[in-house]
Structure 1
Amino acid sequence: MTHSSHQGSHLQSQGLPETSFYYFAYGSCMCPVDLKRTFGENTYQYVVGTAVLKGYRLGFYRRSLRRNCGTLDVVRDPNSCVEGVLYHLPWRFSTHLDTREEVPRNGYRHEYIDVHSEGKLYQNVRTYVVIDKLPQELAPNDWYLNVVLRGAITCGLSEEYCWWLFNHMHKLQLQQNREVILTNCFSN
């Protein structure tokens, strides 16, 4: 147990406020309903608001074995920005979030970033980035596409960004479908 997590459980047992951390979600965790599955309790109360991460772009550079599709990652890009959801989570969620993001299995790792939300700058905010990135993007499946969009729309990301996100995911799916069709045509 790390010092911080030990401190959080110790404070809680004394009836003191639990320690917490800020978390920037840009993929399926944007959806509070989906995040509830991970934590076992509602997460709406922990939403600070929409947030913008400057100097990064989105990409599907990880294959999720559990979902059998491409999943989102953020990649440094000085000319881009990523919209997402800023959460202020109790420390007791930290291990569950790491497990969901496959940190123990070297899927993602913590990255500490600065985001803008509700007119404020939040520094040292946790997000997750893929460790072993694929050389090219891999399409999400329909379930992942829908949960990402549901989170983006539910939490109020800009309409322009939601449309961009949908179009990007849909184009990846169409490209993958064309490749499958061509492979099947030439293998018969």
Structure 2
Amino acid sequence: MLNTKILDKRNMATFYYFAYGSCMCPVDLKRSLGEKTHDYVVGPATLKGYRLGFYCYCEKRDCGVLDVVEDPKSSVEGVLYRLPWRLSINLDQRECVHEGRYKHEMVDVTIQGQRYKNVRTYVVIDKTSEEFAPNDWYFNVVLRGAVTSGLPEQYCWNLFNHMHQLQQQQLATRRWQAAAA
């Protein structure tokens, strides 16, 4: 007997999406998309020519959130999804496209030497001049997504250190401001 669920999945309109922040965690992505996303994970992927940065402050989350910035010497690790087209609007809402915070950018990513072209990712439109620290919740969901998705261990450590240093800088600034007041 033919499994119609598999047949439907193969024939539906889809798009590739490269996640590098909190959306790397399929459990967190499910919150916004309204359905389980584990089945849509293609695997860990690399975006060359970009680096991560927290050049956006999100009022809803009350912290800095991730962005990718063009940098020919760097690369960003993340998760490649193959999502049904019907989830595109919900993903845009999660990324605040309608508010003008993020926009689509079409990129190429690789997974174990295989190149995927015209993959959607999101980039901040109006980047801040300095990075904002993530809060503990965002820190944890990004790191959980990176680790559980199988990103390279050294990349996960670098991501942890970057977020931790931003938090420590923010804490030192607040202490200095409090002492000066």
**TM-score between the two structures when normalised by the length of structure 2:** 0.94
- CA drift of 1:118 comes to 3.2
Matched, 1:74 2:86: no
Return the alpha-carbon distance in structure 2 between the equivalents of residues 96 and 39 of structure 1.
6
Matched, 1:100 2:99: no
- CA drift of 1:119 comes to 2.6
- CA drift of 1:31 comes to 0.2
- CA drift of 1:41 comes to 1.2
In structure 2, the residue corresponding to 1:182 is in which secondary structure?
A: helix
Out of 104, 111, 119, the residue aligned to residue 105 of structure 2 is 111
Q: Output the amino acid matched with 2:20.
A: Y
Contact 1:49 1:118 (C-alpha < 8 Å) held by counterparts: no
Task: Tell me the percent identity.
Answer: 62
The count of residues paired between Structure 1 and Structure 2 equals: 174
Report what 1:5 is aligned to: none
Q: Output the amino acid matched with 1:48.
A: V
Return the alpha-carbon distance in structure 2 between the equivalents of residues 125 and 30 of structure 1.
15
Deviations 1:1-43 (A, max 9, x none): xxxxxxxxxxx9xxx9220000000000000000010111110
Return the alpha-carbon distance in structure 1 between the equivalents of residues 67 and 146 of structure 2.
15
Matched, 1:29 2:23: yes
Deviations 1:100-122 (A, max 9, x none): 00000001000000000133100
The correspondence of residues 17-166 of structure 1 with structure 2, limited to 5 A, is 17-166=11-160
Contact 1:20 1:89 (C-alpha < 8 Å) held by counterparts: yes
Q: Output the amino acid matched with 1:64.
A: C
Return the alpha-carbon distance in structure 2 between the equivalents of residues 153 and 118 of structure 1.
18
Return the alpha-carbon distance in structure 1 between the equivalents of residues 14 and 150 of structure 2.
23
Segments of 4+ in structure 1 off by > 3 A? none
Q: Output the amino acid matched with 1:142.
A: D
Structure 2 segments unaligned to the other structure (5+ residues): 1-7
Deviations 1:17-72 (A, max 9, x none): 22000000000000000001011111010000000000000000000110010000
Report what 2:4 is aligned to: none
Return the alpha-carbon distance in structure 1 between the equivalents of residues 44 and 16 of structure 2.
13
Give the alignment's Cα RMSD to 1 decimal.
1.3
Matched, 1:169 2:166: no
Structure 1 segments unaligned to the other structure (5+ residues): 1-11
